[in-house]
């Protein structure tokens, strides 16, 4: 569990399933993913994230607004399950509900996750990636120290002292 000034980054609970499914059903939130997700798909994703976190000692978890206790999305570290020019790697990821956009939550959460990955896990680098046209991701990336390259319509950022 990580605390920031405004957020609590924590493990999933059953109470997160409904708002996470609503987040994943939103076309704006899922614009850079292959498709929106059903409730069943979202529930299975939470189950996988919990299992991966238990196995690896890190993972993707829920984002909660501290002042209100309201679910705002997910963030954390994960290992991409595909081959790319930046894998094998550990990824920092985030996905916030539309109602949580424009408040700096993604940047605040990403900074906390990056700091935790470098200090607690001792990782030498952490990556993040998306479609090159995802300007919201690019804005978050610019607020954290990063070097990035584009390849075939996708962007990867590497965080750390060296690349």
**Residue 51's CATH number:** 3.40.630.30
Domain that holds residue 111: 2-159
Whole-model pTM: value is 0.84
The pLDDT tens digits of the residues spanning 67-86 come to 999 999 999 999 988 887 77
The pLDDT tens digits of the residues spanning 45-71 come to 999 999 999 999 999 999 999 999 999
Q: How many domains does the chain have?
A: 1
The pLDDT tens digits of the residues spanning 107-136 come to 899 889 988 988 888 888 888 776 666 666
CA distances from 150 to 109, 128, 146, 155, 156 (A): 24, 12, 13, 4, 7
Cα separation of 151 and 142, whole Å? 18
């Amino acid at each position: 569990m990580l605390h920031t000034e405004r957020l609590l980054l924590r493990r999933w609970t059953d109470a997160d399933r409904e708002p996470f499914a609503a987040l994943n059903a939103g076309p704006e939130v899922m614009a850079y993913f292959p498709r929106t997700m059903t409730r069943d798909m979202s529930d299975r994703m939470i189950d996988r994230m919990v299992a991966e976190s238990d196995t690896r000692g890190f993972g993707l978890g829920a984002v909660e607004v501290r002042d209100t206790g309201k679910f705002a999305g997910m963030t954390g570290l994960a290992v991409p399950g595909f081959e790319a020019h930046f894998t094998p790697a550990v990824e920092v990821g985030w996905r916030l509900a539309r109602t949580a956009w424009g408040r700096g939550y993604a940047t605040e959460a990403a900074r906390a996750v990056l700091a935790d990955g470098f200090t607690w896990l001792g990782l030498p680098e952490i990556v993040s990636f998306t479609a090159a046209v995802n300007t919201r991701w690019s804005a978050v990336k610019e607020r954290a120290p990063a070097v990035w390259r584009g390849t075939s319509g996708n962007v990867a950022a590497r965080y750390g002292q060296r690349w």
